Amino acid sequence: MKGNRILQWSVKIASRYGLLKRFCRTLAIHVFPEEVETRIGSSRFLFRPKIDGFWYLNYSDAEPGVEKVLRENLSIGDTFVDIGAYIGFYSILARNIVGDSGKVIAFEPNPESYEMLKKNFELNGYKNCIAENIALFDEDGFFSLFTAKRGISSSSLFKVEGIHSGQHFTVKATTFDKYCKNHDIVPNLVKIDVEGAEYNVLLGAQEVISLYRPKLLIEIHPQHLETAGHSLQEFFGFLEQQGYRILLN
């Protein structure tokens, strides 16, 4: 335990200085255990320090504002959809908010991340949390999912030079419209973090948007979006045409 506390202390100190972040990553690979359990509120949560060393810190600091948006826009009994859930941090957080009467549906196409996502749901015995090992896109099919050069924490259906490696998985994809229709899903809040495929996800969700008007929390990757053949102006224009008011963080 003492050694573990020292490692946590070292990472907390080093993370405050940009020049030492690479040192932290190297330290994690060689020293940290394969899996560590922490807590998100009342829920148990497993992560992999060799890949996700930042969970020794406060993960919400990595994406400031996201946790606040979830807390302010979700209520007990709501349905939360996490598109690009990774290993489930926000899915577990949302489950704490929507409770037993709500529902969480998490999509993660990367097979390795999906296994951790599923494990985190099972660890807590959550029957109202569904993990899906598929990608959401604007058409059905099978596509290449490229991983980042520094591990699998970032995956994209569009390979960006300098960011993604040649390693890829073949993943199944469908549209959000088709999924919701087949599974009788009425979403209240949809989080989209898909590394450049965000516009494609929206194109495949036009019926859901028209019928249910869910709140949308979208992480935008301009460079990835450009690789996918779209511009920020086009992306924002689409949302405005659907009647959404755009708030930037």
pLDDT tens-place string over residues 16-47: 545 555 666 666 566 777 888 988 889 999 98
Distance CA 187, CA 211 (A): 10
Average pLDDT, the chain: 85
**142-159 as b/e, with b when 16 or more CB fall inside 10 Å?**
ebebbbbeebbebbbbbb
pLDDT (0 to 100) of residue 36:
86
Q: How many residues are there in the chain?
A: 249
Q: Which two tokens stand for residue 93?
A: 């957080």
pLDDT (0 to 100) of residue 60:
57
Q: Which two tokens stand for residue 55?
A: 């969970």
The full set of domains in the chain, from first to last, is 1-61 (no CATH), 63-241 (3.40.50.150)
pLDDT (0 to 100) of residue 57:
54
Sheet arrangement for strand 155-156: 135-136, 164-174, 141-148, 155-156
pLDDT (0 to 100) of residue 53:
65
CA-based radius of gyration for the chain: 18
pTM for this model (two decimals): 0.85
For 110-126, what is each residue's pLDDT tens digit?
999 999 999 999 999 99
Decide if 175 contacts 138 (C-beta within 8 A). Answer: yes
pLDDT-above-90 percentage for the chain: 59
pLDDT-above-70 percentage for the chain: 79
Decide if 222 contacts 152 (C-beta within 8 A). Answer: no
Decide if 129 contacts 104 (C-beta within 8 A). Answer: yes
Decide if 144 contacts 166 (C-beta within 8 A). Answer: no
Over residues 198-215, mean pLDDT: 97
